[in-house]
């Protein structure tokens, strides 16, 4: 029945037009249509070119009234009818007053676009940012490509962060980047475990990234089973960073002893972590929320299980090194993860 | 029956609007009203002339074996240079609706692009004229057109048949008749979601009942009007329902397209498969999430633009050979 042609373009200003505009955009949202479909719908129903611009997300979509995509030939005219859709602006390219259904089309299309932008937040344009960030930290990528990516993100100096999920973030430092150019996620502190690399010029980000990955191995979950810092800066590791080169940290005898002691006493790891990491038993008791005498009993028990003293600086260093090597064992380098 | 395929998002949104004006299921009682109704977009001579780029003429030519004369709408490109071809068009409308101007706009698009004379036949409609009246009208017009290639100004070696829906079924039937009757020679057959199987019992026909456009009930209305009591029975001619043909060899190259969410999906896919099995040439496109006639009703949708572009690309290869 191709010939029962009911062209949407034939909509006019009668009473049912508004109902049809609403039904059309509701249908698009319900079916999970993307932004191009919504902008196309606006162009077709209004009978003039329509465009959606979101400079921050670098989204630019323009459709002609026959539904054909056409890149924007120039800047938007401020006199065109327009409606905000979150961070984006939807415009009908019409001069000389709005058409009969323009207001309804703008309102419904903007609302539909906002719904899509909400649904895809952090996916569409942010995915482009992710790609740029991955490029910036890729030592094998050509220098000019990394340089261009840095400019696109408005970066001069920056540092890299790696999350436990493997997600890479690049944080600008120095002069603030132009408004709207901040890479997504840059300002938010990481919620889980994260390794942080040193602040470097943008072309040295691969170095910062490698350091961040190393730092991530020194992080802990911060639980009884895995006490320690969730966020570690490579700059602050100092000589400890050398331990990352140990081939089989889990095989070091002190680490095995620590594991055996922890298996015998569930409180042990957190307790020795506190004792080795504070200046006095009293400070450790406060951190553990234990009575001083209770902690003394535990320390005696731990010394027995470990076989070395926790009262001497040397013994506390052995515990710190054993805890650190244990974390490195639990957070293996990617190339060792399979073993 | 299993869950039907979802409609394409843009088409689904448009269907929400179209559905108010065009119910999926058309019954025989609705035919008279539909013929009167304003849902058929009227096409004027001015529309056809396209600012003087075409001359428009209606010619009466003899019907087959004493049948009434048949009217042909003939649109000739004014500025075309080189050797012209011809597209002989059979309009859609379920065998019960429409006229020779319906669907001609796309033919004119092709004509401008490839230098074609467009001939569109005003065949008589069912149920007033049951089979074989309609297809015989189409045949009489095709034979006359081929015989008058010189007068119309096209190369008889560049003649194709084309149609959508019921018109696609008629075009397929013309290709079968031309093969069986030794002419006219056809360069190709453009079958746009053709209506070719009166049995109306494929999985897609069952699956899409009550949904989209031209569902199983509508299809029964169309076939019932054309074939009467013979519908679905053992004695239906392949010239009425080309899916009934047992031999699909030695046909001109076919372009077949259809949508995944329409009644005709499975019969059209099967027709292409059977052409290949018979050693023939066919190009098949199945557009996901389309309903019947999607590209005509929602020409702006992304998938409609692609469907129409695919036809043009096929024609481009066909006429370049």
Domains in chain A, ordered, with CATH?
Answer: 8-121 (no CATH), 125-217 (no CATH), 248-336 (1.10.10)
Q: If pLDDT is split at 50, 70 and 90, which confidence band does A16 have?
A: low
* Domain count of the fold of chain B: 1
DSSP string, A111-162: HHHHHHHHHTTTTHHHHHHHHHHHHHT-TTS-HHHHHHHHHHTT-SEEEEEE
- Alpha-carbon distance A226 to A98, whole Å? 65
Is residue B2 included in any domain, yes or no?
no
Residue A336: its pLDDT value, please? 59
State mean pLDDT over B102-121.
Answer: 96
Is residue B159 included in any domain, yes or no?
yes
pLDDT at B16 over 90: no
Is residue B142 included in any domain, yes or no?
yes
Q: Does A15 touch chain B (CB under 8 A)?
A: no
Q: If pLDDT is split at 50, 70 and 90, which confidence band does B171 have?
A: very high
Average pLDDT of chain B is: 94
Contact of B157 with B186, CB cutoff 8 Å: no
User: How do beta strands A59-63 and B254-259 pair?
Assistant: unpaired
Which has more confidence, B220 or A129?
B220
B166, B207, B261 from B204: Cα distances, Å: 17, 5, 8
Is residue B3 included in any domain, yes or no?
no
- Alpha-carbon distance A116 to A36, whole Å? 11
Task: Select from B36, B220, B302, B303 the residue whose CB has the most chain A CBs within 10 Å, as the one to mutate to test that interface.
Answer: B302
B 270-299 residues inside an 8 A Cβ radius of A: 292-293, 295-299
Decide if B92 and A8 are in contact by the 8 Å CB cutoff. no
Contact of B111 with B125, CB cutoff 8 Å: no
B 90-149 residues inside an 8 A Cβ radius of A: 91-94, 97-98, 102-103
In chain B, the percentage of residues whose pLDDT exceeds 90 is 86
Residue A100: its pLDDT value, please? 72
Kindly list the residues from chain B whose CB atom is less than 8 angstroms away from the CB atom of residue A23. 13, 16-17
Q: Does B40 touch chain A (CB under 8 A)?
A: yes
Residue A21: its pLDDT value, please? 85
Smallest Cα distance from A35 to chain B, Å:
11
Residue B180: its pLDDT value, please? 98
Smallest Cα distance from B6 to chain A, Å:
9
Q: Measure CB to CB from residue B214 to each of A1, A43, A68 and give the nearest one.
A: A1
DSSP string, B63-109: -GGGPPPEEEEEEEESS--S--EEEEEE--STTTS--TTTTHHHHHH
Report the CATH number at residue B32: 3.40.50.1820
Buried b (16+ CB within 10 A) or exposed e, B28-44: eeebeebeeeebbbebe
Decide if A67 and B302 are in contact by the 8 Å CB cutoff. yes
A3-17, A50-64, B177-191: range with highest mean pLDDT: B177-191
Residue A175: its pLDDT value, please? 58
Q: In this structure, what token pair is assigned to residue A126?
A: 């942010």
* Domain boundaries, position B100: 9-320
Radius of gyration from C-alpha coordinates of chain A: 30
Kindly list the residues from chain A whose CB atom is less than 8 angstroms away from the CB atom of residue B40. 3-5
Q: Measure CB to CB from residue A4 to each of B39, B193, B304 and give the nearest one.
A: B39
Q: Is the dihedral of CA B193, B195, B200, B202 positive or negative?
A: negative
State mean pLDDT over B272-282.
Answer: 98
Phi first, then psi, for residue A151 (nearest 5°) are -65, -40
Is residue B108 included in any domain, yes or no?
yes
State mean pLDDT over A125-141.
Answer: 74
Q: Is the dihedral of CA B144, B149, B152, B154 positive or negative?
A: positive
Smallest Cα distance from A230 to chain B, Å:
45
Residue A60's contacts (CB-CB under 8 Å, 6 or more residues apart) are: A51, A52, A53, A54, A71, A72
Is residue B4 included in any domain, yes or no?
no
CA dihedral in degrees (B165, B169, B170, B175; nearest 10)?
130
| Helices A124-136, A143-152: inter-axial angle, 10-degree rounding | 140
Is residue B202 included in any domain, yes or no?
yes
B180, B247, B270, B285 from B277: Cα distances, Å: 19, 10, 10, 17
- Alpha-carbon distance B8 to B262, whole Å? 12
C-beta atoms surrounding B285 within 10 Å: 18
Phi first, then psi, for residue B306 (nearest 5°) are -70, -40
Is residue B247 included in any domain, yes or no?
yes
């Amino acid at each position: 029945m191709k010939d029962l042609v009911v062209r949407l373009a034939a909509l006019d200003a009668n009473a049912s037009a508004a109902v049809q505009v609403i039904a059309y955009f509701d249908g698009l949202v319900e079916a999970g249509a993307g932004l191009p479909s919504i902008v196309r719908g606006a162009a077709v129903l209004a009978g003039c070119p329509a465009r959606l611009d979101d400079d921050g997300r670098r989204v630019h979509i323009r459709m002609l009234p026959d539904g054909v995509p056409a890149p924007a030939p120039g800047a938007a005219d401020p006199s065109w009818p327009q409606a905000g859709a979150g961070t984006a602006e939807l415009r009908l390219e019409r001069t000389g007053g709005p058409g009969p259904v323009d207001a309804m089309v703008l309102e419904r299309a903007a609302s539909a676009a906002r719904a899509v932008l909400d649904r895809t937040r952090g996916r569409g344009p942010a995915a482009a940012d992710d790609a740029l960030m991955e490029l910036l930290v890729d030592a094998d990528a050509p220098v000019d490509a990394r340089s261009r990516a840095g400019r696109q993100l408005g970066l001069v100096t920056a540092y890299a962060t790696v999350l436990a999920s493997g997600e890479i973030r690049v944080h600008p430092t120095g002069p603030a980047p132009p408004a709207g150019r901040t890479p997504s996620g840059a300002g938010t502190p990481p919620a889980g475990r994260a390794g942080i690399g040193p602040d470097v010029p943008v072309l040295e980000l691969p170095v910062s990234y490698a350091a961040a990955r190393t730092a991530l191995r020194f992080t802990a979950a911060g639980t009884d089973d895995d006490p320690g810092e969730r966020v570690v800066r490579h700059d602050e590791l100092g000589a400890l960073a050398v331990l990352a080169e140990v081939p089989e940290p889990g095989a070091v005898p002190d680490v095995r002893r620590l594991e055996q002691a922890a298996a015998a006493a569930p409180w042990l790891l957190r307790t020795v972590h506190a004792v080795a990491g504070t200046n006095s038993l009293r400070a450790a008791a406060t951190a553990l929320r234990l009575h001083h005498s209770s902690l003394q009993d535990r320390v005696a028990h731990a010394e027995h299980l470990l076989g070395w003293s926790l009262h001497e600086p040397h013994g506390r260093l052995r515990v710190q090194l054993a805890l650190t090597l244990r974390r490195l064992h639990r957070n293996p380098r990617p190339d060792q993860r399979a073993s | 029956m299993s869950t039907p395929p979802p409609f394409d998002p843009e088409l689904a949104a448009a269907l929400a609007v179209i559905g108010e004006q065009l119910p999926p299921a058309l019954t025989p009682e609705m035919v008279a009203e539909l013929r009167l109704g304003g849902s058929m977009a009227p096409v004027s001579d001015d529309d056809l002339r396209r600012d003087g780029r075409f001359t428009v003429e209606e010619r009466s030519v003899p019907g087959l074996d004493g049948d009434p004369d048949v009217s042909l709408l003939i649109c000739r490109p004014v500025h075309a240079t080189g050797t012209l071809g011809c597209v002989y068009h059979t309009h859609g409308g379920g065998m019960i609706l429409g006229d020779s101007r319906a669907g001609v706009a796309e033919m004119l698009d092709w004509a401008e692009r490839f230098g074609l004379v467009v001939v569109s036949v005003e065949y008589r409609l069912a149920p007033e004229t049951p089979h074989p009246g309609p297809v015989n009208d189409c045949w009489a017009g095709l034979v006359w057109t081929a015989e008058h290639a010189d007068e119309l100004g096209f190369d008889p070696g560049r003649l194709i048949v084309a149609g959508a829906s019921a018109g696609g079924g008629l075009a397929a039937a013309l290709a079968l008749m031309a093969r069986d009757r030794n002419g006219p020679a056809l360069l190709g057959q453009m079958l746009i979601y053709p209506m070719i199987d009166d049995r109306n019992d494929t999985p897609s026909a069952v699956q899409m009942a009550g949904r989209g456009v031209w569902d199983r009930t509508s299809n029964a209305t169309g076939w019932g009007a054309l074939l009467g009591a013979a519908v679905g029975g053992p004695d239906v001619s392949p010239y009425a329902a080309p899916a009934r043909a047992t031999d699909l060899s030695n046909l001109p190259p076919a372009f077949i397209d259809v949508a995944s969410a329409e009644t005709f999906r499975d019969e059209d896919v099967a027709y292409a498969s059977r052409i290949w099995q018979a050693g023939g040439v066919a190009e098949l496109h199945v557009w996901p999430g389309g309903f019947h006639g999607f590209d005509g009703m929602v020409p702006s949708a992304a998938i409609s633009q692609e469907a129409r572009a695919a036809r043009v690309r096929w024609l481009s290869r066909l006429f370049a050979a």
